[in-house]
Structure 1
Amino acid sequence: MASVHRPAVRVICFDADGRVLLLRWEDPVSRARLWEPPGGGIDPGETPLEAARRELAEETGLDPGAIGARAVDVQRDTVWKGTHFVGPEQFFAAFFRTSRPPVVREGLLAYEQSELLTHAWIDPADLDGLPDRLEPPVLPALLPEFRSWARQA
């Protein structure tokens, strides 16, 4: 299996009650399912923050202006569509003032429409009980740092 590093970003979205938005995807090759924050690859000429804002708008319809400029590098090691993705991704945080802001799918590409099963605003205490794998697995340990950014803003 090929191993590659793809420059990519993720956005940890918090609602007004501290829940985190996760998207549930199904790998069309292995049929494995996973939960992960919105995000994706950085396009040529894009900064990581620009990519984070574009990806959030495309995958969720949420306001990309809610993303702060601060980011943390998170090491990723996951398999998707028969490719082993390894290396750092920049994780940003977004804070929303309402409870469970509505998420829409209109910005997704056709293949993403079929691979995205659902989304959910999940209480961090419930992350261990998800029915499928959580990506990245270290996400619960990262959340306190991201939440602290809201208090500093």
Structure 2
Amino acid sequence: MASVHRPAVRVICFDADGRVLLMHWEDPVSGGRLWEPPGGGIDPGETPLQAARRELAEETGLDPAAIGDRYLEVVRDSVWKGTHFVGPEQFFTASFPTARPPVVREGLLPYEQSELLTHAWIASSDLATLPDRLEPPTLPELLAEFRSWS
């Protein structure tokens, strides 16, 4: 299996009650499922912050202006669609003033429409109860670090 580094970003979205938004995806190659924050690849010419704002708008319809400019670099090691992705990604945060702001799917690409099963606003205490794998596995620790910033 090939190992590649794809420059990418993720956005940890917090709602007014401290829940975090996770996307629930199904790998069309393996059938495996995972929960992860919204995000994706950095396009040529984009900064990581620009990519984070674009990805958030595309995947969720949430206001990209809510993303701050601070981030944590997280080393990812995950298999998706038969490719082993390794390397750092920038994780930004966004905070929303309401509980469970509505998320829309209209900005997703056709293949993303078929691979995204659902999304959910999840309390930190419920992360361990998710039925499928959590990416990155260190997400609970990352959430604690982000919360210490405020």
Residue 105 of structure 1 is matched in structure 2 by: 105
Residue 107 of structure 2: SS of its match in structure 1? coil
Q: Within the alignment, does 1:53 sit opposite 2:53 as a pair?
A: yes
1:148: how far off?
2.7
Where do residues 30-41 of structure 1 align in structure 2 (5 Å cutoff)? Answer: 30-41=30-41
- Quote the residue 1:140 is aligned against: 140
SS of residue matched to 2:128? helix
Aligned counterparts of 1:126 and 1:61: Cα–Cα separation in 2: 24
TM (norm. structure 2) is: 0.99
Q: Which residue in 2 is equivalent to 1:22? A: 22
Between the aligned partners of 1:27 and 1:134, the Cα distance in structure 2 is 14
| Pairing 1:85-104 to 2, within 5 Å after superposition | 85-104=85-104
Whether 2:70 is the aligned partner of 1:70: answer: yes
CA distance in 2, matches of 1:27, 1:120: 18
Aligned mates of 1:108, 1:115 — CA distance in 2: 10
Shift of 1:31: 0.3
Relative to the length of structure 1, the TM-score reads: 0.97
* Distance across 2 between alignment mates of 1:111 and 1:6: 18
**Superposed displacement of residue 145, structure 1:** 1.6
Uncovered stretches (5+) of structure 1, i.e. residues with no partner: none
Aligned residue identity for 2:67 = I
Equivalent position of 1:123 in the other structure: 123
3-state secondary structure, aligned to 2:137: coil
Number of residue-to-residue matches in the alignment: 150
Following TM superposition, by how much is the alpha carbon of 1:46 offset from its aligned partner in structure 2, in angstroms? 0.0
Task: Please list the CA deviations of residues 32-85 of structure 1 after superposition, one character each: whole Å capped at 9, or x if unmatched.
Answer: 000000000000000000000000000000000000000110010000000000
C-alpha RMSD of matched pairs (Å): 0.5
Identity of counterpart residues, as a percentage? 83
After TM superposition, which residue ranges in structure 1, 4 or more long, deviate above 3 angstroms? none
**d(CA) in 2 for partners of 1:29 and 1:39?**
20
Instruction: Give 1:147 deviation, angstroms.
Output: 1.8
